[in-house]
Chain A
Amino acid sequence: MSESCKVSSERRGDVAILWTDGYINNQGGEEIAREAYAQLDSGVRALVLNLEKTRIVNSIGISILIEVLEKVMDKKGVLAFCGLTPTIDKTFRIMGLAQYAEIYPTQEDAVRSVTAHPA
């Protein structure tokens, strides 16, 4: 029955794209954080989280995404989300995440924008 989230990633220069697949709860959030921190520690400046294969992110998962955002901000990096369902998009905006992280409709838009960001 497990809906556990799978996370994969790919580095493109100083940008890392992370893809999620499934329910982002505490385990899913921790999986994302592990992958994100590994990418940041290896010198990545910008993270793009593509959530197009995720339909539910619970508040525990979001709290872990906020921790990732804090770490990115500490490193003066950029965090961008893309592929959000309208409900996830709405939830992120309710929480004010859109003020600190960028939200784009597509991965192409997100990568283009974070690549153009000054270091």
Chain B
Amino acid sequence: MSQGGSAPPGLKSAGSREVSMTIPVAPEMEIVATAQAAALGEYIAMTRDKIDEVKLALVEACINAFEHADCRDEQLHLTFRLGGEKGREWLEVEVLDKGKGFDSTAVEEPSLEKTFQTHRKRGWGLQIIKSLMDEVDISSGKTGTRILMRKYK
């Protein structure tokens, strides 16, 4: 588990174009965030299916924070970046909360078999994010959590 700070290695964002927004921790605010992701995806002519994948990953990152982060400021801080490397354009989304943090390495990998055996059917968020996005970096500590995820066009 690493402490949030500068951009994580492997997801350098220098020279990118970015849009920032803050959303309150409130029901369905994740949908407000997805509208921004969709607009930027369309701006770089990303396919609708890939935009949908970014939107769902973003929804999962937001509702994880809404439910578990216990954000001190009751807000999520989102940054959307557009960039490109070697002719490949990408859309990157950063979801930052000022909550209590968590150890992402200690999160048990879910399976439907295990899910059937328990009353609690949840715990799929991180798995979905990692499966739908091309690159994901999670840094978390006592001052909050940052999920940085990138999708190539």
List A residues at the B interface (Cβ < 8 Å): 1-3, 23, 25, 55-60, 62-64, 66-67, 70, 85-87, 90-91, 94-97, 99-100
Contacts and interface: CB of A to CB of B under 8 A. Distances in A.
A96 B111 contact: yes
A3 B31 contact: yes
A87 B132 contact: yes
A63 B52 contact: no
A97 B112 contact: yes
B140 to A, nearest CB: 19
A23 B56 CA distance: 11
Contacts of B60: 58-59
A86 B63 contact: no
Interface of B: 28, 30-32, 34, 49, 52-53, 55-56, 59-60, 63, 110-113, 115-116, 121-122, 124-125, 127-128, 131-132
A95 B112 contact: yes
Given A55-B52, A55-B55, 20 more contacts: A3-B28, A56-B31, A56-B52, A56-B56, A58-B56, A59-B63, A59-B125, A60-B63, A60-B122, A62-B124, A86-B52, A87-B49, A87-B56, A90-B53, A91-B132, A94-B127, A95-B112, A95-B124, A96-B113, A99-B112
Contacts of B53: 87, 90
A56 B128 contact: no
